[in-house]
Structure 1
């Protein structure tokens, strides 16, 4: 856990770099808010798109929305008052509790939707155990776990001489917790998810070869359904891959800071890595819309015109006034 600088008053106003950094951070936050609120509103208005997979995607949009809001640069007390209010400020706001809570909820949600898609593609019989009620329970569970896990940040962020700093109980404990956080909240889950999607694509490729061998490519409902499942899997894989790439420099540098005498937070690369990390709330809605005609049609219907929706298995098809086959892009 490391503190994200989302304040403006403690930056040197005469430094053009820091001014540019603050502006870019503000733009990132606004774009993340706008993009994800469009997705959320679309889910609210187009009720029949609420499939099991899409409910998880909705929760991802909510986590991205919270992350974007939490990273908006705000004025901060300088120095932080030596009082109960100052201590609460450092523990909750200074530690960016809400941003890290949302990020952990995002990772857990990606794991959940990966398991759901893996079951649908690799173990379709087990997928029958997924229900809308179960999906909602899992989503609630991701938020509860994220709050509990992130409560650790409340114990190490303190008001030290008028500024919010991390206070660890010894170097050994710092190295241990830094390694555990890196492994459990970044490296292990994202590695497992990437392997799961590679397995899914392998299974889908085998199915595609079977369709080609049987000479029914593009001629059956089963083929269309498999193609739709592949498109959904590709979209989710892109989300996981972009998240991994965006956060890799920051997480590796944070691990290096905890394991060695490297002051990452005050280094030259820190602001660049933070800007890269918080690109993911912006990219996720773009991936939803770019990769899936379902979302493009849904947004159009939610904001522009009346619509009707037909449902085919667990894949939603949006049909403005006529039937149109679901496919990517």
Structure 2
């Protein structure tokens, strides 16, 4: 318990201040307010909120098996993590599409500030709609020895499994596929050779800057994918092989996969710092 508490506490201590600093750097400096950075702010807001509002609550519940936080927060903690993760990964997807448009078809007009805000707002609305069923079916059950917070699906475990598969496809596999395709094409374009006859210093500086941004975002996406993969695999395996839920060490496996998934909230500020001087 002491080791897990230390591990989860460290994630909160690193993720909340780190992401708040990213938000401040971009919003407080006018030259930093680009389309890409607007999506990075959205990503940082989602990560900071998850770390501050959900991580320790979920950890305490997983560790103690007793819900201390009331019916309202039970609904919130069942709906907000999916909403925030959706917002995070689709912000990364929007950056990938924006980079693709800027590099593959540079003569087309870029996203305006208004359009960027509409895209960010749409991401949060769609994220909430995807998570809404968990909010609607959240329940509190008061027992003599403890209180439970859970999602009671009308269709039982089968409906829960179907919903989780849909979430994995929409919040993990599909956006990763889109980013994989766009960054592969962008990478081939940026690293596949120089443009004949264009050897001026300004061109090389612009090419180098574009490569830096793309390299940084690829690291962000790969980090997210690696961190969340064990968590999704855990839920699929325990749903298919339900006897695993009675295994002696399954709680430790859950805490480990959940910690790795939540730790994704603290890596991005470190990646930005290491890979981008601005």
Q: Is the pair's TM-score, using the shorter chain for normalization, greater than 0.5? A: yes
Q: How much does 1:88 deviate?
A: 2.6
Partners of 2:239 and 2:271 in 1: CA distance: 34
Q: May I ask how many residue pairs the two structures share in their alignment?
A: 266
Q: How much does 1:92 deviate?
A: 2.0
Q: How much does 1:100 deviate?
A: 2.7
Q: What CA deviation, in whole Å up to 9, does each residue of 1:191-224 have, x standing for no partner?
A: 2212221111001123xx225x6482xx431221
SS at structure 2 position matched to 1:159:
strand
Deviates more, 1:232-241 or 1:140-149: 140-149
Partners of 1:268 and 1:286 in 2: CA distance: 27
Partners of 1:190 and 1:280 in 2: CA distance: 15
Aligned match of 1:141 in 99, 112, 122? 122
Aligned match of 1:125 in 97, 107, 118? 107
Task: State the partner residue of 1:91.
Answer: 75
SS at structure 1 position matched to 2:245:
coil
In 2 relative to 1, CA 80–56 (structure 1 residues): closer, same or farther, beyond 3 Å?
Answer: closer
Q: Note the aligned Cα RMSD (angstroms).
A: 2.4
Task: State the partner residue of 1:302.
Answer: none
1:291 and 2:248 are equivalent in the alignment: no
Aligned match of 1:106 in 88, 91, 106? 88
Return the structure number with greater helix share: 2
Aligned match of 2:224 in 217, 222, 243? 243
Q: How much does 1:117 deviate?
A: 0.6
Partners of 2:36 and 2:273 in 1: CA distance: 15
In 2 relative to 1, CA 22–228 (structure 1 residues): closer, same or farther, beyond 3 Å?
Answer: same
Match runs of 1:54-69 below 5 Å: 54-69=37-52
The answer on whether the counterparts of 1:32 and 1:65 sit within 8 Å (CA) in structure 2 is yes
1:183 and 2:183 are equivalent in the alignment: no
Match runs of 1:165-176 below 5 Å: 165-168=150-153, 169-176=155-162
Match runs of 1:44-55 below 5 Å: 44-55=27-38
1:228 and 2:209 are equivalent in the alignment: yes
Q: What CA deviation, in whole Å up to 9, does each residue of 1:261-286 have, x standing for no partner?
A: 24399533111111111121111011
SS at structure 2 position matched to 1:293:
coil
The answer on whether the counterparts of 1:26 and 1:72 sit within 8 Å (CA) in structure 2 is no
1:210 and 2:194 are equivalent in the alignment: yes
In 2 relative to 1, CA 72–170 (structure 1 residues): closer, same or farther, beyond 3 Å?
Answer: closer
Relative to the length of structure 1, the TM-score reads: 0.74
Partners of 1:46 and 1:288 in 2: CA distance: 16
The answer on whether the counterparts of 1:64 and 1:102 sit within 8 Å (CA) in structure 2 is yes
Partners of 1:86 and 1:288 in 2: CA distance: 38
SS at structure 1 position matched to 2:207:
helix
The answer on whether the counterparts of 2:102 and 2:110 sit within 8 Å (CA) in structure 1 is no
| Structure number, greater radius of gyration | 1
Q: How much does 1:51 deviate?
A: 1.0
The answer on whether the counterparts of 2:27 and 2:33 sit within 8 Å (CA) in structure 1 is no
What are the ranges of 5 or more consecutive residues in structure 1 without an aligned counterpart? 1-17, 295-329
Relative to the length of structure 2, the TM-score reads: 0.87
Q: How much does 1:187 deviate?
A: 1.4
